[in-house]
Amino acid sequence: MRIRTLPEYHAAYQQSVENPAAFWGACAEPFTWRKKWTSVLGGEFSPAGRSTWFEGARLNLTENCLDRHLATRGNKLALIFEPNDSKTRHQRFTYRELHQQVCQFANVLLNNGVEKGDRIIIYMPMIPQLAVAVLACARIGAVHSVVFAGFSATAIADRVQDAEATYVITADGLNRGAKQIPVKSVVDEALTTCPAVRRVVVVEHLGWPVLMQAGRDVWYHDEAKNAALTCPAEEMKAEDPLFILYTSGSTGKPKGVVHSQAGYMVWADFTFRNVFQVEENDVHWCTADIGWVTGHTYGLYGPLLAGSTSLLFEGVPTYPDAGRFWEVIDKHHVSIFYTAPTAIRSLMALPLDNVLSYSLSSLRILGSVGEPINEEAWHWYDQHIGKSRCPIVDTWWQTETGGIMISALAGITPSVPARAGLPLPGVQPVLLAQDGTEIAGNDQEGYLAIKASWPGIIRTTWGDHERARQTYFTPYPGYYFTGDGARRDADGLYRIIGRVDDVINVSGHRFGTAEIENAINQNEHVVESAVVGYPHDVKGQGIYAYVICRDGLPTSAADRTIFEASIIETVVAEIGKIAKPDKIQLVSGLPKTRSGKIMRRILRKIAEGETESLGDVTTLLDPAVVAEIVAGRK
């Protein structure tokens, strides 16, 4: 279904709420099904926390992403790959070529013993083989779990173990701006604690020598020599798992969000085509890495399901200079550009010349995702990139929602700075008060929850359904709880305020404060730590860590610097560079209640610089510690 006007949006929305089975059944019709569904939707939010979509159906997602298009779009570009270095030649893949590559990769996996349902961790640079590897898993019914290549060996090992993965796909190394990073050696380190991994398939990218463990590691290019270019697609049940993607929550350990086949497919396709108002000749560029959900749904599955052309970019916005995004847009005639506010904010801080040398005339639609986009960034994006002629869609969604939930449909429903806008068809947002009652009317603020299931909803958390039930479906029975706070403005448009739980959003990436604290506490000289977010001009939120050291506060500045560096090293080793604290304050104690609970509210206020409004601190176990922390604030 394609919505093209405001009245069509309202009609579709109404039908999706009144008769979801008819609405989504019609949306699912055009796909290739081996067998049609017996019921469109089932399950319940409370108490089970389970949803099913298109139960009884059989399909393969890659048949819908690739085979379905061969007759009409075989020679159309499916992927454009722009390498890190602008002097390296780009690569292009038609639907026919991508189909062959996916089949070949799938055969390599089969030849190495992969079976339907096996979990495969993919830890790779943003290169075409990453997309191919993901689709190859889907082709044969293996469950992919992509781990962003900025995570550490420990983080990979945690995910391999949690998913009970038996295969890993990786590369020799990756380019990131002027730097090259050895990827395979990070995997080697991770796998020292993962004996269940049977095979590591290594894609050659940088041409670096790597250690290959006999009997476990194989080069993709050696294996591909014996792999055919066709591969039958495995018939999957609608609710078989498609992928696991680990994401942070308010507890210490990231959880494996599970998405399944049919519902995710319908949701990715519907949201992609309608939000971005995709036309046949569009070139779509989602700058998110495939290691994040945005890359899954709008870098890969959504565009391919729609038969679109998607651009993959290996590099960073500032290499070789801060005009790289705009150069790539002109070079490949990108018409839909989808990025994160943090990227916009970092580029708008640099001279405008970086933008003015490019025409950007191919652009039609701009998108934003991952965190609230502030008005200043919205206007800069609109004026300098969109030249005030491209609608902007500010898309609110989550790893758990599979696809966009609240957003303008480009050029059709209202797009107002700092508002995500109206819900998509099928999405019923509500604002809840603390006691769980629904807040009616406009111009209201509350906890954002969703009232009914939609096809892309999380199915479970891998290996631990109770965790999904407790996190999303138990706080407010009968609703899916998002963890965000939101405001519904006078016109009924939603503005996302930010997380209301202990999750911080750094450059659009989610971390649990407990997860970072656990990492810091691994440092042998740390007794305890407390982590909070604080407003950061570029990253949205920065990470502020208060740390108590085992041997008392270091007295010299040099010792403090050494200690802080060792804390950063610990976090980098436990999680990865992306979770490095921006500020570390060494303290002799933390503000705690008499029952021992850390008063994060006070720590947040101090980190934000609001030291005048800390409230009553006299009931704390040790009120004097607050004055010390305020005095030593970074």
Sheet holding 119-123, edge to edge: 217-219, 199-203, 167-171, 119-123, 143-146, 241-247, 255-260, 460-461
510 binds ligand PRX (CB under 6 A): yes
Task: State which of residues 397, 473, 476, 481 lies at the interface with ligand PRX (CB under 6 A).
Answer: 397
Q: How far is the CB of 151 from ligand PRX (least distance, A)?
A: 14
394 binds ligand PRX (CB under 6 A): yes
Q: How far is the CB of 494 from ligand PRX (least distance, A)?
A: 9
Q: How far is the CB of 538 from ligand PRX (least distance, A)?
A: 16
Using CB under 6 A, count the residues that bind ligand PRX: 22
Separation between Cα atoms, residue 369 and residue 357, nearest integer Å = 26
Three-state SS at 374:
coil
Among positions 412-451, residues that touch ligand PRX (CB under 6 A) are 420
**Which residues are registered as beta bridge partners of 44?**
50
Binding segment for ligand PRX among 13-21, 261-269, 394-402, 519-527 (CB under 6 A)? Answer: 394-402
369 binds ligand PRX (CB under 6 A): yes
Nearest to ligand PRX of 260, 585 (CB atom): 260
Separation between Cα atoms, residue 453 and residue 407, nearest integer Å = 18
Task: State which of residues 122, 143, 293, 427 lies at the interface with ligand PRX (CB under 6 A).
Answer: 293
Binding segment for ligand PRX among 56-64, 221-229, 382-390, 497-505 (CB under 6 A)? Answer: 497-505
Q: How far is the CB of 505 from ligand PRX (least distance, A)?
A: 5
Q: How far is the CB of 574 from ligand PRX (least distance, A)?
A: 19
Q: How far is the CB of 404 from ligand PRX (least distance, A)?
A: 8
Among positions 297-336, residues that touch ligand PRX (CB under 6 A) are none
Nearest to ligand PRX of 173, 540 (CB atom): 540
Binding segment for ligand PRX among 26-34, 121-129, 233-241, 495-503 (CB under 6 A)? Answer: 495-503
Please identify which residue in the block is written with the tokens 């429903």.
Answer: 413
Q: How far is the CB of 395 from ligand PRX (least distance, A)?
A: 5
Which residues have a Cβ under 8 Å from the Cβ of 146 and sit 6 or more positions away? 121, 122, 123, 124, 130, 134, 243, 245, 290, 291, 295, 296
Nearest to ligand PRX of 419, 469 (CB atom): 419
Which residues have a Cβ under 8 Å from the Cβ of 17 and sit 6 or more positions away? 426, 428, 452
Task: State which of residues 24, 326, 396, 454 lies at the interface with ligand PRX (CB under 6 A).
Answer: 396
Q: How far is the CB of 144 from ligand PRX (least distance, A)?
A: 17
Among positions 562-591, residues that touch ligand PRX (CB under 6 A) are none
Q: How far is the CB of 401 from ligand PRX (least distance, A)?
A: 8
Separation between Cα atoms, residue 60 and residue 67, nearest integer Å = 10
The 3-class secondary structure across 23-34, one letter per residue, is HHHHHHCCCCCC
The DSSP-derived string for 68-102 is HHHHHHTTSEEEEEE-SSTTSPPEEEEHHHHHHHH
Question: For residues 545-569, b (16+ Cβ closer than 10 Å) or e, as one string?
Answer: bbbbbeeeebeeeeeeeebbeebbe
Q: How far is the CB of 62 from ligand PRX (least distance, A)?
A: 23
* CB under 8 A, 24+ apart: contacts of 267-270: 267/402, 267/403, 267/454, 267/455, 267/456, 268/297, 268/298, 268/301, 268/302, 268/305, 268/402, 268/403, 268/456, 269/27, 269/31, 269/302, 269/305, 269/306, 270/1, 270/27, 270/403, 270/424, 270/425, 270/455
Strand stretches in 135-198, DSSP E:
143-146, 167-171, 173-176, 179-182
Nearest to ligand PRX of 168, 373 (CB atom): 373
Task: State which of residues 107, 166, 399, 521 lies at the interface with ligand PRX (CB under 6 A).
Answer: 399
Three-state SS at 132:
helix
Separation between Cα atoms, residue 514 and residue 519, nearest integer Å = 9
Task: State which of residues 62, 64, 287, 294 lies at the interface with ligand PRX (CB under 6 A).
Answer: 294
Which helix (H) or strand (E) segment is 266 a member of?
A: helix 261-275
Binding segment for ligand PRX among 108-116, 328-336, 370-378, 421-429 (CB under 6 A)? Answer: 370-378
483 binds ligand PRX (CB under 6 A): yes
Q: How far is the CB of 126 from ligand PRX (least distance, A)?
A: 16
484 binds ligand PRX (CB under 6 A): yes
Taking only Cα atoms into account, the Rg of the chain, rounded to an integer number of angstroms, comes to 24
Q: How far is the CB of 399 from ligand PRX (least distance, A)?
A: 3
Task: State which of residues 300, 496, 587, 590 lies at the interface with ligand PRX (CB under 6 A).
Answer: 496
**Cα dihedral: 426, 31, 277, 19 (round 10):** -20
Binding segment for ligand PRX among 97-105, 187-195, 396-404, 541-549 (CB under 6 A)? Answer: 396-404
371 binds ligand PRX (CB under 6 A): yes
Nearest to ligand PRX of 255, 324 (CB atom): 255
247 binds ligand PRX (CB under 6 A): yes
User: Which residue, 495, 338, 337, 340, is CA-closest to 421?
Assistant: 495
**Which residues are registered as beta bridge partners of 460?**
258
Nearest to ligand PRX of 289, 484 (CB atom): 484
Nearest to ligand PRX of 27, 450 (CB atom): 450
Separation between Cα atoms, residue 77 and residue 66, nearest integer Å = 12
Q: How far is the CB of 408 from ligand PRX (least distance, A)?
A: 11
**Which residues are registered as beta bridge partners of 199?**
167
Give the residues lining the site for ligand PRX (CB under 6 A). Answer: 247, 293-294, 369-372, 394-399, 420, 482-484, 496, 498-499, 505, 510
